[in-house]
Amino acid sequence: MIIDIHTHTKPFSDDSDLTPDELIQKAKSSGLDGICFTEHDFFWQDEDIHRLSQKHDFPIFPGVEINTEEGHLIVFGLKKYEFGMHRTSYVRKLVDKAGGAIILAHPYRGRVHQNPDCEQLLKRACQNPVLELVDAVEMLNGRSKSNENSFVQELCLSLDLRTVAGSDAHSPSDIPTCATQFDNRVKNLQELIEELKKGRFKTIDLRSSGEISRL
């Protein structure tokens, strides 16, 4: 099952050009099996997700992209924002209590091309304590530069981290780019969280064809 785990819609993410309906329609026409709505610090209501999923006959899973002092986190399982969520360690406590999952989104974006010594940056990155607080790392991001994705890939390989991929869609042209292929069928948010925590998935890059072919 191929799911785009990182997308944004307007007006809930004010930097997105996609309405929820447009995003769903583009995802379906591209051959994706499901998408995650992960707005910036905005929590979708379960009933709204259910309504859209029923309307389009398409699996949608609610998440959120939280901006912390240590980076951006894609979080599944939380329902609302609480004071203290600007720290990854606090988010981890809340997510553990809720039985959720955390993905580190596009780490080191904007820092790779600014750093002339990538080897030294990689050495420091391997010691980043945030990596111990997440369930997986977004190794492929559809809106990151190729050298940024390559750097994260090297980081994840060095530490044998679990990796996912997402489009980070903000416009129609962002889909399909990157997605995560799950080994098992995912029917609801709890099953998505379980698969993420079990590590039963792999990253896929869809940019070469622009569509998903089915055998």
Give 209's pLDDT tier (boundaries 50, 70, 90).
low
Q: What is the dihedral of CA 88, 120, 118, 159, to 10 degrees?
A: -50
Nearest to 169 by CA among 43, 59, 30: 30
Full-model pTM: 0.94
CA 195 to chain centre: 14
User: What is the number of H-type helices and E-type strands within the chain?
Assistant: 6, 9
Tokens of 196: 């993420």
138-186 pLDDT tens trace: 999 999 999 999 999 999 999 999 999 999 999 999 999 999 999 999 9
Q: What phi and psi values does residue 35 have, to the nearest 5 degrees?
A: -140, 160
85 close to 68: Cβ distance less than 8 angstroms: yes
Q: Could you tell me what percent of the chain has a pLDDT over 70?
A: 96
34 close to 61: Cβ distance less than 8 angstroms: yes
The pLDDT value given to residue 110: 86
Give 214's pLDDT tier (boundaries 50, 70, 90).
very low
* Residue 14 per-residue DSSP state: T
Q: Is the peptide bond before 11 cis (omega within 30 degrees of 0)?
A: yes
- CATH class of this structure's domain 2-205: alpha beta
The mean pLDDT value for 45-60 works out to: 97
What's at 82, amino acid-wise?
Answer: E
